[in-house]
Chains A and B, each alone.
Chain A
Amino acid sequence: MNNPPDISPAQHETEQYAHDVSKHVRGYLIVGGTLIFCTALTVFLSYVNFGSQKANVSVAMLLAAFKAGLVAYIFMHLSAEKKLIYRVLLFTGIFVFALFWLTYLAWYDPISH
């Protein structure tokens, strides 16, 4: 789903523009409904025993990642952004990965493991 375009100063194009945005509005409502449904699903699945705590955590985090992806992609318009924003996010991703990698290294003890 692309961003609604910037509004045109020309009257006849404004009507077409309003029509285009109204199509996006339907998409936003569908995404909102999907997010609510996924929340209910997360709660339901947390009471299902998947065999181990690790499996339950994985299922919940996968659903959370899907929901977060929807918010970022649709609501935050990352489906159609300028390259500079993606570059900023790429660097952010690298630093976050490094942060969690350090956490993992601090926790993982190669001698006793």
Chain B
Amino acid sequence: MEIPYTVTARPDTGLWNAKIGIWLFLASEVMLFGGLFSAYIFLRLDAEPGYWPHGLLNVPVGTFNTAILIASSVTVVLAWAALKMRQFARYKIYMGITILCGVIFLVVKLGYEWPQKYVHFGAYIKSSALEKYEPLLGNKHLLAEGLPPRVEITGHLHNHEALHDPKIKEYEIALDPVYTDPTNPKMDRPHFLYVPPTEKIGVVQKADVERATMFLPTHNTYFATYFTITGLHGLHVLAGVLVFTYFWLPVGSKLYRENPEHLANRVEVAGLFWHFVDLVWIFVFPLFYLL
């Protein structure tokens, strides 16, 4: 069966069908991500002082991934332009680079950034016990500076069995640098470069802890929204990579020989989806990594 209006415009809409189809789909996507972003805003605005963490994500890695996604947006539009100019060899190169960029983004996200979080640990201190941990938290200094207090002690958990064994009464944490020198003004704001946990072990009594887990979605609302939004975004990147790979394979060559404009239109539609994915990341990056 011949699909109508794949290349020529429908008389009533003035557009070929897939073009209007993808824009309607993107409109629904805007509402999907809009709902998640509004949830993010809602949770963040209502967070108590100190309960919305800063500086927990690796900024250089996030910047690199942003640049990768922007580069892929350029190469996909170049791939489309190459098809329009009937330069199939160039199209293959640009599309290949786009696929590679998408794969790099996913590998960095799922192979490096997320696993780094799974091995990081945080313990929220009960408000009644904050004074006891003042040498690690430095809240008097932060109060004097007009900054929100620290209510959590983070790092690498040394005694993992403490998570499940009720007989163990304390967490031994290889502290993140901020807790080794909490009154140093250099520690007041997040660093650009990632600084790994130190050798210094901090001992936190379980009785003083309100909640303690690894950096998983259940850890706090920040990580719940981070994993939800970046996970959904990652799924979109994966979908884009799969579609581009399909066009890059011999299926694309066959369609090009039969009807090059049809392939160009398919790439344009998939490209519109890809640009939307890039557009979403443009907001995700500053909201989660920088602010």
Q: Which residues of A are in contact with B by a Cβ distance under 8 Å? A: 4, 6-7, 14, 17-18, 21-22, 24-25, 28-29, 31-32, 35-36, 39-40, 42-43, 46-47, 49, 53, 56-57, 60-61, 63-64, 67-68, 71-72, 75-76, 82-85, 88-89, 91-92, 95-96, 99-100, 102-103, 106-107
Contacts and interface: CB of A to CB of B under 8 A. Distances in A.
B214 to A, nearest CB: 27
B67 A39 contact: yes
Contact of A39 (B46, B70, B271): B70
A71 B35 CA distance: 21
Contacts of B287: 60
Contacts, number: 129
Interface of B: 13-15, 19-20, 23-24, 27, 30-31, 34-35, 38, 41-42, 45-46, 59, 63, 66-67, 70-71, 73-74, 77-78, 81, 84-86, 189, 192, 261, 271-272, 275-276, 278-279, 282-283, 285-287, 290-291
Contact of A84 (B15, B86, B272, B285): B15
26 contacts: A4-B84, A6-B261, A21-B84, A24-B81, A28-B74, A28-B81, A29-B74, A31-B74, A36-B71, A39-B66, A42-B286, A43-B59, A43-B290, A46-B291, A63-B286, A64-B282, A64-B285, A71-B279, A72-B275, A75-B74, A85-B23, A88-B23, A91-B27, A95-B31, A99-B34, A100-B34
B261 A75 contact: no
A21 B282 contact: no
B42 A84 contact: no
A103 B41 contact: yes
Contacts of A22: 85
